[in-house]
């Protein structure tokens, strides 16, 4: 397999006017905050890479036609893994950028000839292996007729403290109305690409869409949809998957 070539997929006939759903997983990062030589998305969890579990989670809903995985141009690990479970629903794109936002933007651009502007893109973290099928279905069902799109999120339950430069508390922040953003984040392909091209560097897709003056909808997720950022998170994710 030539790692410099973007995976080819069959384009849907122009006569099909129904809106479709696609997944997109940015997986070009090195996972520097996690530490170690293995990129975080390839760390093993229950005998499979984290990325495999993220793909499986999106593939759990049959409405998601194709799942694009955005990889670094020099990624040599992907072809060493067994992706046969997903068949033709998985499409690697070797066009990752230096940041998450750049990878998503590049992936959307690479898929532009394969999806329509009004099709839904569900952007999911490669390091969120525990997305529940019920949460994914709720996201799609809630946003299917929405004019903007939105994201899974969980209301903040902890008391929030603002620290000064010496790590001493300078204020207690009200938590009412605050949510912790999760993924997938679901927006129309055309809207999201336009938002990311205009926004520059953002930490999630919703932030880019907000800069267009739009208001993404928050859809209740669950605490089990953990993101693996540090080594202890991998242990937590393994426990959640074992209970699923």
Distance CA 43, CA 58 (A): 19
Residue 9 has pLDDT above 70, yes or no: no
Per-residue confidence (pLDDT) for residue 5, from 0 to 100: 35
Per-residue confidence (pLDDT) for residue 200, from 0 to 100: 86
List, for residues 80-130, the tens digit of each pLDDT value.
999 999 999 999 999 999 999 999 999 999 999 999 999 999 999 999 999
List, for residues 22-34, the tens digit of each pLDDT value.
999 999 987 555 5
List, as one string, the DSSP characters of the chain: --TTSPPP-PPPPTT--S--EEEEEE-----TTT-SSS-GGG-EETTEEHHHHHHHHHHTSTTEEEEEEE--TT--SGGGS--GGGGGGEEEE----SSHHHHHHHHHHHTTTTS-TTSEEEE--TT-TT--HHHHHHHHHHHTT-SSEEEEEEE--S-EEEE-TTS-EEEEE--TT-EEEEEEEEEEHHHHHHHHHHH-S-SSHHHHHHTTT--PEEEE--TT-----SHHHHHHHHHHHHH-
Q: Read off the pLDDT of each residue in 187-204 and give the average, rounded to a whole number.
A: 96
> Domain residues of the chain, as ranges?
21-243
Per-residue confidence (pLDDT) for residue 33, from 0 to 100: 57
Q: How far is CA 176 from CA 157, 179, 226, 230, 243, in A?
A: 9, 9, 22, 28, 31
List, for residues 48-74, the tens digit of each pLDDT value.
999 999 999 999 999 999 999 999 999
Residue 220 has pLDDT above 70, yes or no: yes
pLDDT averaged over the chain? 91
Share of the chain above pLDDT 70, in %: 91
Per-residue confidence (pLDDT) for residue 34, from 0 to 100: 57
Residue 11 has pLDDT above 70, yes or no: no
Residue 40 has pLDDT above 60, yes or no: yes
Per-residue confidence (pLDDT) for residue 10, from 0 to 100: 36
Asked whether 80 and 155 are in contact (CB, 8 A), the reply is no
Residue 155 has pLDDT above 60, yes or no: yes
Q: How far is CA 235 from CA 28, 170, 184, 239, in A?
A: 23, 33, 22, 6
Q: Read off the pLDDT of each residue in 9-36 and give the average, rounded to a whole number.
A: 69
Share of the chain above pLDDT 90, in %: 86
Q: Read off the pLDDT of each residue in 193-217 and give the average, rounded to a whole number.
A: 97
CATH number of 21-243: 3.90.550.10
Say whether pTM exceeds 0.75.
yes
pLDDT band at 76 (very low <50, low <70, confident <90, very high): very high
């Amino acid at each position: 397999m030539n790692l410099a070539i973007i995976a080819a997929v069959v384009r849907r006939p122009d006569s099909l006017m129904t809106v479709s759903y696609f997944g997109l997983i940015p997986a070009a990062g090195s996972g520097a905050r996690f530490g170690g030589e293995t990129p975080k998305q390839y760390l093993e969890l229950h005998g499979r890479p984290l990325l495999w579990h993220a793909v499986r989670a999106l593939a759990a809903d049959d409405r998601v036609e194709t799942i694009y995985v955005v990889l670094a141009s020099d990624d040599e690990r992907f072809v060493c893994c067994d992706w046969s479970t997903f068949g033709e629903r998985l499409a690697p794109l070797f066009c990752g950028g230096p940041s998450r936002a750049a990878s998503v933007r590049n992936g959307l651009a690479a898929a532009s000839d394969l999806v329509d502007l009004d099709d839904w893109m569900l952007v999911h973290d490669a390091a969120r292996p525990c997305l529940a099928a019920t949460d994914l279905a709720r996201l799609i069902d809630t946003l299917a007729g929405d004019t903007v799109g939105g994201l899974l999120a969980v209301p903040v339950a902890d008391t929030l403290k603002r620290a000064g430069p010496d790590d001493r508390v300078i204020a207690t922040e009200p938590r009412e109305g605050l949510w912790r953003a999760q993924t997938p984040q679901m927006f129309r392909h055309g809207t999201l690409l336009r938002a990311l091209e205009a926004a520059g560097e953002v930490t999630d897709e919703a932030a880019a869409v907000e800069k267009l003056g739009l208001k993404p909808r928050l859809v209740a997720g669950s605490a089990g949809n953990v993101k693996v950022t540090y080594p202890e998170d991998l242990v937590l994710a393994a426990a959640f998957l074992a209970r699923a």
